[in-house]
Structure 1
Amino acid sequence: MTDFTLHTVDSAPQEARERLESTQKQMGFLPNLFAKMAEAPVLLEAYQTLDEIYSRTSLTPAQQQVALLAISATNGCSFCVAAHSGGAKAAKVPEGDIEKLRELKNPDDPKLNAVARFAKHLVEARGWAEEAEMQAFLGAGFEKQQLLELVIAVSLKTLSNYTNHIAGTPLNDELKAFEWQNPRG
C-alpha cells in the first residue's frame, strides 16, 4: 500500500498549515482525515469549503448527520462512520437510529429514514435516482431543494470516504468510542 503521511501542523505543506491549525484549535484535536488530506492542500480546502456549504443547507443538523453517516456506512468508511456517529449524537439523533445506520439499516424516525434511504440510494445508484425513490423522499415531507442538497452530502463524503480508503486513515483516539467495523466485512 502507498504510504501517505499523517501530517501535523508543522509537517504539512505550507498551503495546508493554516487550515490544520484552525481545525485543531476549533475541535481540540486534529482529525487524522485532515492530516492525510493535507498532502494535497487543495483537497483539504475543497473538503472544508464544501463542508461549510453543506452546513448551510435547509436540512436540519440531525438530517445532515444522518445523510453523512448513511453514505459513509454504505461506502464502508470506518473513519467517517465513527466521526459521524459522534456528529449524529451531538445533533441529537436518537441512539437507536444511530445504531441502525451503523448496521446499514434505516432509522425509525420517518424523516430521518427518508433522508438515509435516499442518500444511500443516491450512492448505490451512482446518482441515477429512481423516480419512485425521489417520490418517496418528497412524500416524506421534503422539498426538491432538499433532494438536490443531498447531492452535496454525497459529494462531501466521496471526498472523505475515498481519501480514507486510499490513504488508510487511522482512527483518532478521540473517536475510538465510535469505532466501527463494516458488517459487510
Structure 2
Amino acid sequence: MSTFELHTLESAPAKAKQMLTDAEKAYGFLPNLYGNMAEAPALLEGYLTLTGIFNTTSFSETERQIILMTNNRLNGCTYCMAAHTTISQGAGVAADVIASLRAGEAIPDVKLEALRQFAVVINETRGYPSDADLSAFLKAGYSQQQVLEVLIGTSLKILSNYTNHITHTPLDAAFAPNAWTKG
C-alpha cells in the first residue's frame, strides 16, 4: 500500500501553498483533506473551485448538504460524513435531517426526501436516471436546472471521497465528535 504525505503549509508544493493558507484562515485549521489534496495542486484547486460553484446553485444549504452527505454515505467516505455532519450542524441543518442522512433513512420532509432519493439514483445509476425518477423529482417541486445541479454536488463528492479512499485521510479533531462508520 502506498503512503501519501499529509502536507502542511511548509511541505506542500508551491502551487498549493496559497490555497492551503486561505483554507487555514477560513477554517481556523488546515483540514487533512486539503493537506492530502495538496499533493496534486490542480486537484485541490478543482475541488475548491467546484465547491464555490456548488455554493452558487439554486439549492439551499440544507439541500446542498443532502446531496453531499447522500453521496458521502453511498461512497462510504467516513471522513466526509464526519466533516459534513459538523458543517451541517454549524449551518443550522435540522438535526432530524442530519440523522436521516447519516443512517441512510428517509427524511421526514417529503420534498427533501425526494432530493435525497434523486441523489441516490444519480449516484447508483452513474447518471442514468429513469424517466420515472426524473418525473418524481420534478413533481416534488424541483426544476430541470436542479436536475443538472445535483451533478455538481455528485462530482464534488467524487473528488473528495475518492481522495480520502486513496490517501486514507485521517479525521481532523474538529470532526472527531461526529465520526461515522459505514454500516
Deviation at 1:96, TM superposition (A): 1.6
Deviation at 1:106, TM superposition (A): 2.7
Query: CA separation in 2, counterparts of 1:84 and 1:106?
Result: 18
Deviation at 1:47, TM superposition (A): 0.2
Letter in 1 for 2:103: E
The alignment status of 1:39 with 2:20, answered yes or no, reads no
Query: CA separation in 2, counterparts of 1:158 and 1:31?
Result: 18
**8 A contact 1:63–1:115 mirrored in 2:** yes
Query: CA separation in 1, counterparts of 2:156 and 2:92?
Result: 21
Deviation at 1:111, TM superposition (A): 2.2
Secondary structure at 2:9's aligned position in 1? coil
Deviation at 1:93, TM superposition (A): 2.0
Letter in 2 for 1:132: A
In structure 2, the residue matched to 1:115 is 115
| Higher alpha-carbon deviation: 42-51 or 104-113 | 104-113
**8 A contact 1:65–1:91 mirrored in 2:** no
Query: CA separation in 2, counterparts of 1:2 and 1:99?
Result: 34
Deviation at 1:63, TM superposition (A): 0.3
| Higher alpha-carbon deviation: 49-58 or 80-89 | 80-89
Letter in 2 for 1:62: T
Deviation at 1:136, TM superposition (A): 1.0
Query: What pairs up with 1:26-175 in 2 under 5 angstroms?
Result: 26-175=26-175
Kindly, what percent of the aligned residue pairs are identical? 44
Query: CA separation in 2, counterparts of 1:121 and 1:82?
Result: 23
Question: Mind listing any 5+ residue stretches in structure 1 that lack a counterpart?
Answer: none
Deviation at 1:100, TM superposition (A): 1.3
In structure 2, the residue matched to 1:10 is 10
Query: CA separation in 1, counterparts of 2:114 and 2:11?
Result: 43
Secondary structure at 1:147's aligned position in 2? helix
Letter in 2 for 1:33: L
Cα displacement string for residues 111-146 of structure 1 (whole angstroms, at most 9, x for unaligned residues):
221111111110100111111111111111110001
Q: What TM-score comes out, normalization by structure 2 length?
A: 0.97
Letter in 2 for 1:66: I
Provide the alpha-carbon RMSD of the alignment: 0.9
Question: Mind listing any 5+ residue stretches in structure 2 that lack a counterpart?
Answer: none
Query: CA separation in 2, counterparts of 1:100 and 1:165?
Result: 23
